[in-house]
Amino acid sequence: MKRRVIVAALLAVLLLLPGKVRADGLNVVGHYANADGTFLDIATFSEKGETVGILGIAHKVSITFSNNEWPSFVAIWRKAQATRSDSFQFVGTFKETGTTYNSLLTAAAGPGVQLTINDQPGTYVFVLSPNDYARFDGDVAKVASILGSNPGSK
């Protein structure tokens, strides 16, 4: 668990850095931007034989997933992707474990998929456009492959 705490702290620092500054071990799989200037990164980070999946919003907040936790995010993503509504409907949550501050991811779906991360620096929201669903789905699968997780079938 100590290793995961160190990794999570390092990831939080890395995600606060400007986009072009990267440390060894960080692999940004996908970058999504909205017209309002907010952005979402989906990535992996590897250190000392351990790899975690990451979602980060605006280089301000992030949440990590171990290989056995990533399928929980995949299930939330798939449920959100399938939800159709004119207004946002709650889909699910995931609470990070093994860190000094256990970040909380909340997902809602409707006119897009709203991902909210509450982390020590605050709460940040990103709305993924339906136009980005296919690409994001592919990036989720890439992270699953890197982590060795089985995301199951759609």
3-state secondary structure 93-137: EEECCCCCCCCEEEEEECCCEEEEEEECCEEEEEEECHHHHHHHH
| pLDDT score recorded for residue 100 | 86
How far is it, in rounded angstroms, from Cα 40 to Cα 32?
Answer: 5
Measure the N-to-C terminal CA separation of the chain; round to a whole number of Å.
32
Q: 3-state secondary structure string, 12-40?
A: HHHHHCCCCCCCCCEEEEEEEECCCCCEE
| Low-confidence winner among 8-12, 87-91, 132-136 (lowest mean pLDDT) | 8-12
Helix, strand, coil proportions of the chain in percent (round to 5)? 30, 35, 35
Give percent above pLDDT 70 in the chain. 81
The confidence score (pLDDT) of residue 130 equals: 97
Among left, alpha and beta (phi > 0; psi -120 to 50; other), residue 140 is alpha
In sequence order, what are the beta bridge partners of 46? 51
Residue 81, Cα to own-chain centre: how many angstroms? Answer: 15
Q: Per-residue pLDDT for 154 more than 80? A: no
pLDDT at 99: 84
CA-to-CA distance for 101 and 10, rounded, in angstroms?
A: 13
In the sheet where 61-65 sits, what is the strand order? 26-33, 39-47, 50-57, 61-65
**In CATH, what is the architecture of 2-147?**
2-Layer Sandwich (3.30)
Mean pLDDT of all residues in the chain?
A: 86
Q: pTM of this prediction?
A: 0.82
Position 80 pLDDT exceeds 50: yes
Q: In the chain, what are the domain boundaries? A: 2-147
What is Dmax (Cα atoms) for the chain? 45
In tens, the pLDDT along 115-152 reads 999 999 999 999 999 999 999 999 999 999 999 965 54
Residue 21: is its pLDDT beyond 80? Answer: no
